[in-house]
């Protein structure tokens, strides 16, 4: 029996390679079942948090007998409760994500566009999240929300996300800041937000929108999807460049005359984003499409451990 086409986003060789990897939150999470992530609530788990004075009705098994012996005072030991995590995957489906560089890594015999690269990453992380009993959701967008799948922990959520990824095609302009403000208000409780985008938007507006996620107590991972040509601009011949967000617009350019200004502009943009992410305690990771996505993801997940 032939596997559904959307299963191409979860190739067996990649799942075998990443099978032991985990997606673990670094901050505290609010969930609804027991899991492996720190909760803002305190209970009686494994990791010690603090002492508090004994109150009538407390379980005497949680008394700190050493403190009682030394100070003749009654204190209860409190521990960090563990909870499951709510993961929301934000996939940029604007026209610029359709770019396929000549140096892009191949999958299924052809180079990956930035959008395909992001889809593979999103599918794999969603699969890993649900597999460890976390809730995963998916948002696709360009200038407006295209799809909003609230986070769910049930196994059928993986199929729904894969079908959504298969059906959604890149197109339209970029409006990251407005979309991020909207999504930040929609996601309930603190959770993990993972963004897959080439970040083509006004950097100041983008940084304010990222701050909105942090204000709402979400942990944020920003996976910046870039083609190698966007970073090095290796073109030499006089060329007509096409705007992927406005397909009818073509601009004749001599690359040699604009290379220095282009590279300086790119550096300023990248420096601004990375600096802001450091200030906001957002985890920033550049993901060049020239590196196979499974290799890049495995290295990233190992670094988080």
pLDDT at 109: 86
Can you give the pTM of this predicted structure? 0.81
Summary mean pLDDT of the chain: 86
Tens digits of residue pLDDT in 47-61: 555 666 766 766 667
User: 250-253 and 37-43 as β-strands: parallel, antiparallel, unpaired?
Assistant: unpaired
pLDDT at 82: 52
Count of Cβ atoms closer than 10 Å to residue 53 Cβ: 9
Tens digits of residue pLDDT in 271-282: 999 999 999 999
> Exposed e or buried b for every residue in 237-275, given b needs 16+ CB within 10 A?
eeeeeeebbeeeeeeeeeeeeebeeeeeeeeeebeebee
Tens digits of residue pLDDT in 91-109: 999 999 999 988 999 988 8
Say yes or no to pLDDT of 248 above 80. no
CB distance 272 to 203 below 8 Å: yes
Give me the domains of the chain, ranges plus CATH numbers: 10-26+85-304 (3.40.50.410), 37-83 (no CATH)
Q: According to the per-residue pLDDT averaged within each range, which of 29-38, 66-75, 114-123, 170-179 is highest?
A: 114-123
User: Residue 303 — very low, low, confident or very high, per pLDDT cuts 50/70/90?
Assistant: confident
User: Residue 253 — very low, low, confident or very high, per pLDDT cuts 50/70/90?
Assistant: confident
Query: Widest CA span of the chain, in angstroms?
Result: 84
Helix, strand, coil in percent for the chain, rounding step 5? 40, 25, 35
pLDDT at 33: 42
Strand residue runs (E) in the chain: 37-43, 47-53, 75-83, 86-92, 106-107, 110-111, 135-141, 145-152, 192-197, 219-226, 239-242, 250-253, 283-288
How long is the chain? 305
């Amino acid at each position: 029996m032939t596997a559904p086409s959307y299963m191409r986003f979860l190739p067996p060789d990649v799942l075998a390679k990443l099978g032991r990897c985990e997606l673990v939150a670094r901050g505290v999470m609010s969930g609804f079942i027991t899991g492996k992530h720190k909760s803002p609530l305190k209970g009686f788990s494994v990791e010690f948090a603090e002492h508090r004075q004994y109150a009538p009705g407390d379980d005497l098994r949680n008394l700190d007998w050493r403190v009682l012996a030394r100070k003749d005072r009654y204190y209860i030991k409190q521990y960090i409760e563990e909870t499951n995590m709510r993961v929301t995957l934000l996939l940029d489906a604007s026209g610029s994500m359709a770019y396929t560089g000549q140096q892009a890594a191949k999958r299924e015999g052809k180079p990956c566009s930035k959008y395909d690269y992001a889809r593979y990453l999103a599918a794999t992380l969603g699969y890993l999240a649900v597999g460890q009993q976390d809730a995963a959701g998916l948002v696709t967008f360009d200038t407006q929300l295209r799809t909003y799948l609230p986070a769910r922990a049930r196994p059928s959520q993986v199929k729904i996300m894969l079908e959504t990824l298969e059906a959604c095609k890149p197109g339209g302009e970029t409006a990251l800041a407005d979309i991020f403000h909207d999504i930040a208000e929609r996601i309930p409780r603190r959770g993990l937000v993972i963004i897959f985008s080439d970040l083509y938007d006004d950097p100041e507006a983008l940084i304010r929108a990222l701050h909105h996620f942090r204000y709402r107590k979400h942990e944020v991972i920003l996976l910046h999807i870039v083609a190698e040509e966007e970073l090095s601009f290796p073109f030499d011949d006089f060329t007509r460049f096409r705007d992927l967000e406005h397909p009818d617009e073509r601009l004749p350019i001599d690359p040699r005359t604009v290379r220095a200004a282009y590279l300086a502009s790119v550096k300023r943009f990248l420096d601004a984003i990375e600096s802001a992410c450091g200030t906001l305690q957002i985890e920033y990771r550049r993901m060049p499409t020239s590196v196979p996505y499974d290799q890049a993801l495995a290295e990233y997940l190992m670094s988080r451990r």
